[in-house]
Structure 1
Amino acid sequence: MNKLFYIFKRKLTHICNLKPYKETKWLMPNGNPIGVYIYNCVAEEKVPVILNDPTLATWYSCGPTVYDSAHLGHASCYVKLDIIQRILKSFFNINLVTAMGVTDFDDKIIKKGHENKTDYRTVAKMYEHEFWMDMSSLNVEKPMIVTRVSEHMVTISQFIKGLIDSEMAYVTKDGSVYFDTSKFPAYGKLQIMQDSGEASDDAKKNKMDFALWKGFKPGEPSWQTEWGEGRPGWHIECSAMVSKIFGSQVDFHAGGIDLQFPHHENEEAQSCAYHNSRQWANYWIHVGHLNLKETKMSKSLKNTMSIPSILEKYSADTFRMACLISNYRYSMEYSDEVMLTAEDVLNKLKFFLKDVVVYANQKNTEVGDYNNKLLSDLQKVKENNLESLRTDFDTASCINSILNLVNNTNKIIKASTTNYYPVPVLLVAEYISQVLTKFGLKLTESSSDNVTNTFIDSLVEFRHTVRSNALKRKDKELLNACDVVRDKMKSMKIQINDSKNEPSWVAIK
C-alpha cells in the first residue's frame, strides 16, 4: 500500500513540475487523490482529481436562462453532466453535493414578458417548470440545491460591494459597476482573450472589463443598492450564489463549452478577486456542442429541436446511449443515423439480458459448470472499464468493451453443445446491468406494462412454436406467415429476436 502511494505521489509531483505556475495557471489542490484524471482547460491537459475529503466533493452547474423551452442541445449537455456525476458517485463512492443556478431574471425574460403581455416572473416560472419536466423525462437527476437569481439579490449586491471595497471594481456615472481586469493579472486563464485593446465603451476603463451591475433603466425591474439602483450582470450571479453555498472554493464547475469564455472566465476572475485566492474552481468541466450537420444547435440559429418532440421518436435511454458512445468534451453529431446506431446498441444489450434469463432457466438435463475463460474475460472488462472511467470518464470505451463481452458470451449461449454455464453467464449479465443502470439507463418497464408484456410473451412463444414446427417440416407457407407476424410486430414497435432455444423481444421507439 505504501509503495503504491509513493508511486502515485511521485507521478503527481512530476505533473506539477512539468511547467511553472505562470504557464500552467492551474494549481494542484492540497488533499487526497481519488485516482481519477480529468481534462482541465486551465492546465490544458488531464490532471488528477484531488479532494480535501476523499469521499466528498462540491459540484455546481450553470443552469438555464428560462426565457424559452429547452432544446436538444441542452439535453445533450445535462445528460452528459448527469452521467459524469453518476460515475463519481457510483463507481468512485464520492458524496457529491450538487447545485445548479437558474437565471430567472434577464433581458430575454423581460422581453418575452413584454411580448406575451405578462409579468417576467410568470414567464420564468413557466419555463423553469418545463425545464425540470424535460430533465425528468431524460432521467437527469435534479441537483440537491437550486439557486435562482431573483432569490439572491442581497447576496449578489454584497458580493459586488466586496469587490468595490477592495478596488477590484469601479462604479460609473450611470450607477453601473465594472470589474477592473487590469488589476487581475491572471485574467484569460481559461481561454486566451480575444481582444484586450482600447475600451469601446466610455464607461469602461479597459476593453475587457465586464459589468457586475447594470445601472437603472426606465421600464425595467430594478433593486436599490449603496451605489445606486439597477440590476445584476449575468456573470456575477453564479459567483455570488456558489460562494454563498460552497464558500471560497468549489471542486467541480460545469457547463457547456460556449460558457468557457466569457462567462466562466469572468466567474473565475471575480471570485478569485473576492476571496483573495489564486484558484476558485479546481476543475472546470465543459461539454461539447450538439451539432446538426456540423452546425451547433442553438436558439439564435433557429435550428433547435424540442426535447418532447425527440422523445416521441426515440426513447430517453436511446438518447442517453448516444451520449455514452460519444466523448463528453467534443461535439456530438445529431442525426437519425447516430440515433439508430445508439438504438441498435441498446437493443442488443436488452436482447442479451433477456436471452441470459432464458438460457439460465432452460429445461435440459445438463449440469451447470464454470467457464474459466468467460470469468477471466469478465474480470478484465471490469478492470479495463474502471480504468477508462478513471481517465476522463471514457464511457465510449466502456460500452465498446461491454459489447465485446456480450459477443463472447453469446457464443456460449448459442453454441449447440452440451456444455451449460449458467453461473458465469449470469455474472456477466449482472455486471452489464449494473453498469448500464449506474450510467442512468432505466432498462425496465413500468408496472402498468405488465399485462401487455405478458400478452406479448404469450404471442411470441406461440409464434416460436409454430415457426419451429414449420422449420422441421420445411413449410414455406407457415414460415412466411411467421415472418408477417414478426414484421407486423416490428411496425407496432416490438422487435422479436429468433433463437434456436427460446425467442426474446424488446420494445423499440
Structure 2
Amino acid sequence: MTLHIYNTLTREKEVFKPINPENVGMYVCGPTVYDFAHIGNARPVIVFDVLYRLLKTLYPKVTYVRNITDVDDKINAKARETGEDIRTITERTAAMFHQDMAALNAGNPDIEPRATEHIAEMIDMIERLIENGNAYEADGHVLFNVPSMPNYGALSRRNMDDMIAGARVEVASYKKDPADFVLWKPSDEDTPGWDSPWGRGRPGWHIECSAMSRKYLGDTFDIHGGGHDLVFPHHENEIAQSCCANKTDKYATYWMHNGHLMVEGEKMSKSLGNFFTVHELLEEVPGEALRFYMLSAQYRSPFDFTKEGVREAKATLDRFYTALRQHADIEADDVAAPDHFVAALKDDLNTPLAISILHELLSAFNKAPSPQTKGHLLACADILGILQQDVEGWFTQNTAADATEVDADQIMGMIEERKNAKANKDFATADKIRDDLDAMGIVLEDGPGGTTWKLK
C-alpha cells in the first residue's frame, strides 16, 4: 500500500507524491517559548514524530524542520510580569520543552530554527512582498494586503466576514482592508526590536514560519503540519505570504492538522482547573504512557484527555513490558515491522489500527515466544515510539510527585531476606517482608526465574 495523507487543503485523503523522493521535506509549527508546554501542545509533537519515523522507513532521506518562536508578544508580557530578561525566559523554556518532549520519546527534528536568528530572512521576504504589490507600509507597520491574494481563504474555506471575526482582527485606521495582517510592527525602547527599512521593530507571527521554512525546505515542500487551531489565521496567512513572495502557485503540497484536545469532556482552561502541563503530568505517569494514550485515537479526531485514560494506557504498557521481562532471555531478530502494521500507518496514520495489530503480536508472543515475533513486536513499537525503556527500569521508575524515594538496593536486600526465610520454611517472616514492601508501594512477582519487583 502506498502512503495516503488527508490533505486539509483539498479535504480529501490523497496518495502521497513527494516533490523529491530522495528527500522528503516536512515543516511543523513549533512552540512559543514563554511557559511550560501543556498537554495540547504535546499532541502535534507526538503525531508528527510518528509520521517522521514512518517516512524514514519509506524514503532515503527526510528533512524535518520544527521552529522555535522566541520573539512574540506573549514572551514580552512574561518578561514584564516577571522582570526577567527575555533571553533568559526563552532559553529556560526551550530547554524545558526539549526535556518534556524527550520524556514523551519524541525525537528532535533535523533542523530547529529560532525566529530571532532569521530576522534577515523575514525582512527580505517582506521587501519582496512590497515589491510585488502584496504588502504596504503604514504608520510604522508593514501589512499584507489580503485582497491582493485572489484565492485567500482556500485552506480554511471561510468567507471574508467569518475570517475577520474568527481572527479577532485588530481594527486600525492605517489598514487598507480590515482583513490585512501585520508583517512588521514598531518596537518601543522596552520591547525587543531590530533595525529594518521601516524603522526599529519586530516581525509578525505569521512571517516567521514562511521565512524559516523557505530557508531550509525551499519555496515549495511536501508536508506542513500543526494543530487544527492553526488552520486559520496562521497557516492561511503563511500560504498568502509565501506564494506571493515566492511567486508560486503553492506553498506546501499536503497540509496535515491534528484534532482539538479536550480534558475530561471540557475545553482545557486554568479557570476550570483542568489545565495540565506535560511537566506536571510527568510527575504522575511515565511519558511513554502519555504518548501511547495520545496515539490511541486517530490524529485528526478530537481527543478527550482523561486521567483514567492515562492510567489505562500505563496498565496496557505494563502488559507489554511484562512479556518482555518474562522472555528477556530471547534475543529479538533484526526484522522490519510486518507489512500489515506499516499499511495501517500508511493509511493516514491509522494509529488505533496499528495498536490493535501490536496487541495481536503481543498475544502471539505470549503464546509462542520466538526471536522473530519479539523482533516484529519491537520493530512496530519503534515506529510508534513506545517500548523504548529498559524493561526493569519501566517497573522500578518512580514518577509519583509525592512518592517516597525508592532505594533499589534496600528492596533487593529485603527480597533476598525473604528468599532465605522461605528456604528455611519461615513463612511468617517471608510474609511480613512482603507486607512491609507492599506498604512501601512495592509489588513482588514470583516466577520461574526468581522474584522481581515493581512500583504500584
Alignment of 1:287-366 (within 5 A): 287-297=258-268, 303-357=274-328
Conserved? CA contact 1:494–1:505, under 8 Å: no
Deviates more, 1:38-47 or 1:323-332: 323-332
Count of residues in correspondence between the two structures: 435
Question: What is the percentage of aligned positions where both structures have the same residue?
Answer: 32
2:12 to 30, 45, 62: 45
Cα distance in 2 for partners of 1:495, 1:251 equals: 50
Equivalence for 2:141: 176
Residue deviations 1:358-402, cap 9 Å, x none? 6x69xxxxxxxxxxxxxxxxx9x9232121011011122111122
Conserved? CA contact 1:38–1:48, under 8 Å: yes
Cα distance in 1 for partners of 2:223, 2:190 equals: 38
Alignment of 1:199-278 (within 5 A): 200-217=171-188, 219-278=190-249
Equivalence for 1:189: 154
1:35 maps to 2:2: yes
Q: Which fold has the larger relative contact order, with Cα–Cα distance below 8 Å and residues 6 or more apart in sequence?
A: 2
Conserved? CA contact 1:289–1:297, under 8 Å: no
Cα distance in 1 for partners of 2:178, 2:19 equals: 38
TM superposition score normalised by structure 1: 0.76
2:349 to 376, 390, 393: 393
1:436 to 378, 381, 384: 381
| Residue 481 (structure 1) shift | 8.5
Q: 2:158 is aligned with what amino acid? A: M
| Residue 458 (structure 1) shift | 9.9
Residue deviations 1:206-252, cap 9 Å, x none? 22221111134464333232233322111011101111222211222
Give unmatched runs, 5+ long, in structure 2: 398-406
1:40/1:505 CA distance change after superposition, 3 Å: farther
| Residue 508 (structure 1) shift | 5.0
Conserved? CA contact 1:38–1:49, under 8 Å: yes
1:81 maps to 2:27: no
SS class of match (2:68): strand
Equivalence for 1:124: 90
RMSD of the TM alignment (CA)?
A: 3.6
| Residue 167 (structure 1) shift | 0.2
Higher CA-based Rg: 1
TM superposition score normalised by structure 2: 0.84
Cα distance in 1 for partners of 2:223, 2:27 equals: 6
| Residue 404 (structure 1) shift | 2.5
Give unmatched runs, 5+ long, in structure 1: 1-33, 362-378, 414-421, 471-476
Q: 1:323 is aligned with what amino acid? A: M
Alignment of 1:370-449 (within 5 A): 382-410=338-366, 412=367, 425-441=370-386, 442-444=388-390
Cα distance in 2 for partners of 1:445, 1:498 equals: 16
SS class of match (1:170): strand
Residue deviations 1:249-273, cap 9 Å, x none? 1222222221111101100111011
1:481/1:285 CA distance change after superposition, 3 Å: farther
Conserved? CA contact 2:153–2:159, under 8 Å: no
Q: 2:67 is aligned with what amino acid? A: G
Cα distance in 1 for partners of 2:254, 2:46 equals: 19
